[in-house]
Amino acid sequence: MDHAGRPVVLPLRPLTVGELLDAAVALLRAHARVLVPVAAVLALVEQLLLAPLRMAANAEPPAYLPDFDHFGAYWLLLAVGAGVEVAIIAVLGGPAARAAAAEVVGHRPTARELLRPAGGRFGLVAVLALTAGAVVFVMSLTGPAWIIGYALVGLAVPVLVIDRTGPLQALGRGALLAVRSGLRAAGIRLVGYLAWFAVRIALGLGALAALSAIGADAPGWAVPVAATVWLLVNSLAYPTLACLDAVLLLETRMRTEGLDIALTRARHTGRSAAAILAGGP
């Protein structure tokens, strides 16, 4: 172990829901230098992609509420937004999973280690992120079915990076882990998303209200100001949710596959922790 004296991000034991959420925040805090800037770039791309759809749907800042005369366009906006969110969280799940895998065996990786191409599987992460985003986009067109998509695809990238599977196996194994123990991981993913959705709304509307109070909400500035506020808020929300997916995979494996026991034994036997992490059940 090389982080003696530092708080443990992910203990080697099954965790409560509250402890999992705390672990996700702790993981983000430890690796914010990498995750937050990457999230900011992706959140900027998201705002650029959604801008023409918002105009077509006549959704005006800051809240982008629906115009029922353009409800079809607004529905498409929501579906695209859901798919883009999932894709961004999945992309961030690559370095987040890499960090979580290192932390759980007692190593605090540097920013350079997290961004090193060797072992990062960045190309496969991108492909899987686009696939997950497309799945949720299609399911979002049907309405509430996006909940199923969001709940089941989130562990795929952490499985790809930590378990070292192929993309199709990652989707299947991620969904299987999500439904174990009475849909526990799937439910926690939704709890985390809804919690951060509420935080995002509160922070976003609070920031916009503060800007309005100082006169920064003139009509010509409404669109760029609102986009900037949501960009900043999402730059924190998305990496937090990616970190939740990473710690949730490891905790689910501890709870259902005995990963914590195997890693504890490895410390005493000298077996490679990386081999155990990649070993699956």
**Is 204 within a domain?**
yes
Collect all residues with Cβ–Cβ distance below 8 Å to 14 and sequence separation of at least 6: 251, 254, 255, 260
| Ordered DSSP codes for 235-257 | HHHHHHHHHHHHHHHHHHHHHHH
Task: Work out the mean pLDDT of the chain and round it to a whole number.
Answer: 89
User: Six-digit token pair at 175?
Assistant: 């969904």
| pLDDT score of 2 more than 60 | no
Q: Which has the higher per-residue pLDDT, 189 or 60?
A: 189
Lowest pLDDT segment from 94-98, 134-138, 212-216: 212-216
CA 237 to chain centre: 8
All residues at 6 or more sequence positions from 108 whose CB lies less than 8 Å from its CB, including other chains:
2, 3, 6, 30, 102
Nearest to 248 by CA among 166, 199, 190, 196: 190
Q: Among 190-204, 225-239, 244-258, which range has the highest average pLDDT?
A: 244-258
Residue 151 domain boundaries: 27-277
Round to whole Å and give the CA distance between 109 and 99: 6
pLDDT tens digits along 53-66: 999 998 877 677 78
Decide if 91 is inside a domain.
yes
pLDDT reported for residue 112: 93
Comparing 62 with 278, the larger pLDDT belongs to 278
pLDDT at 210: 72
Provide the pLDDT for residue 5: 54
Do 55 and 275 contact (CB within 8 A), yes or no? Answer: no
What's the confidence (pLDDT) of residue 221? 66
Rounded distance between C-alpha atoms, residue 1 and residue 103, angstroms: 9
Number of domains into which the chain is organized = 1
Does 14 reside within a domain? no
Q: What is the pTM of this model?
A: 0.92
For the cut 80, the answer to whether the pLDDT of residue 91 exceeds it is yes
Mean pLDDT of 245-250: 97
User: Tokens 């490891």 belong to which residue?
Assistant: 250
Task: Tell me the per-residue pLDDT of 130-186, one tens digit each, with 9 for 90 and over.
Answer: 999 999 999 999 988 899 999 999 999 999 999 999 999 999 999 999 999 999 999
CA distance 250 to 190: 17
Q: Is residue 7 part of a domain?
A: no
